[in-house]
Amino acid sequence: MTETSFAPRVFSGMQPSGNLHLGNYLGALKPFVEWQGKGVETVYCMVDLHAITVWQDPADLRRSTREMCAGFIAAGLDPEKSILINQSQVPEHAQLGWIFNCVARMGWMGRMTQWKDKAGKNAENASLGLFGYPALMAADILVYHATHVPVGEDQKQHLELTRDIAAKFNHDYGVDFFPMTEPVIEGAATRVMSLRDGSKKMSKSDVSDASRINMTDDADTIARKIRKAKTDPDALPSEAEGLAGRAEARNLVSIYAALNGQSIDAALSEVGGLQFGAFKPMLADVAVARLSPISSEMSRLMADTGEIDRILMRGAERARAITAPILKQTYEIVGMVGPTP
């Protein structure tokens, strides 16, 4: 017995390694929260099993997982509406991941640009998990029969691979069991770049802390980082075309617009003509106004990690009500002997 029609369900994941920053907020958390209000089921996952494809200190990993969960909730995800989980607590992810290790081909994995970037010249020394990472990611998604996956541009190739795995599984076993998941790529408008270099993504792995605004930065730190952000000597243009070739200016304006929930053009009709000296304090004000309630809620939640742990445990229970039957059907399709009904 297999399902043939797929109800809309949103799934996305984020690695709990290092701090949440403004790029995660605007590029992922905000869209996650928007999906939550659209009347579809939403599942958001801290992918701790993915995180350990590169070394993680155990205490740091535990703290990052809880802090990310706190950040999700503080940003507006409601654990009653969305299912919030950490990956390792829903064992069907890893179990389906194994099946997909046997569906995906070495050649497919070897072509993943993220693998090539991360393993680099040192592939011999990279973990096997880092190479197989996208098969587990496909399992994360397909173990829910998820239909929509909001992610950044850099994950597009992994979502194409997810479709390839679903298609090969369905074809090899002659079933129509796994859906063709739609990527929902968050566009350039939500891509936040480094404050030190407008051509690089804001990233938790950048050595310079001044390159990013962390969700836990206090108001003074946020204002100082924005004051020091790289700019150019010109005034802001009044229309979006005027940002061409001005990566840093574009970045700061799009952060301003996104924080205000405006289009870039709307923001520029307000701030066009201003010098950075006048614009930066406005940007700092809106950043502090948006982020400080989130960071204080995060600290409140982090003061009692018992509450976070209960939320994740409850999330795992709800998740398993979805994933266990899908894994069971997968095992039956593949030919694993289990209890006879």
Residues that bind ligand TRP (CB under 6 A): 11-15, 47, 50, 137, 140-141, 149, 151, 155, 158
Is 204 among the catalytic positions? Answer: yes
Q: Which of these is catalytic: 81, 121, 204, 228?
A: 204
Pick 158 or 280: Cβ nearer ligand TRP: 158
Q: How far is the CB of 141 from ligand TRP (least distance, A)?
A: 5
Pick 15 or 147: Cβ nearer ligand TRP: 15
Distance CA 250, CA 235 (A): 12
Residues 6+ apart with CB under 8 A from 119: 126, 130, 131
Apex CA 20: angle with CA 15 and CA 22, to 5°?
A: 125
Q: How far is the CB of 276 from ligand TRP (least distance, A)?
A: 31
Q: Which of these is catalytic: 30, 201, 225, 230?
A: 201
Q: Which of these is catalytic: 30, 81, 118, 225?
A: 118
For residue 63, count CB atoms less than 10 angstroms from its CB and return exposed for 0-12, middle for 13-18, buried for 19 or more.
middle
Residue 13's SS3 state is strand
The per-residue DSSP string of 140-177 comes to HHHTTT--EEEEEGGGHHHHHHHHHHHHHHHHHHT---
Q: How far is the CB of 214 from ligand TRP (least distance, A)?
A: 18
Pick 14 or 26: Cβ nearer ligand TRP: 14
The per-residue DSSP string of 37-59 comes to TTTSEEEEEE-HHHHTTS---HH
Is 30 among the catalytic positions? Answer: no
The two tokens of residue 78 are 């409601």
Q: How far is the CB of 114 from ligand TRP (least distance, A)?
A: 8
Pick 162 or 194: Cβ nearer ligand TRP: 162
Is 228 among the catalytic positions? Answer: no
Q: Nearest residue by C-beta to ligand TRP?
A: 13
Active-site residue list: 118, 201, 204
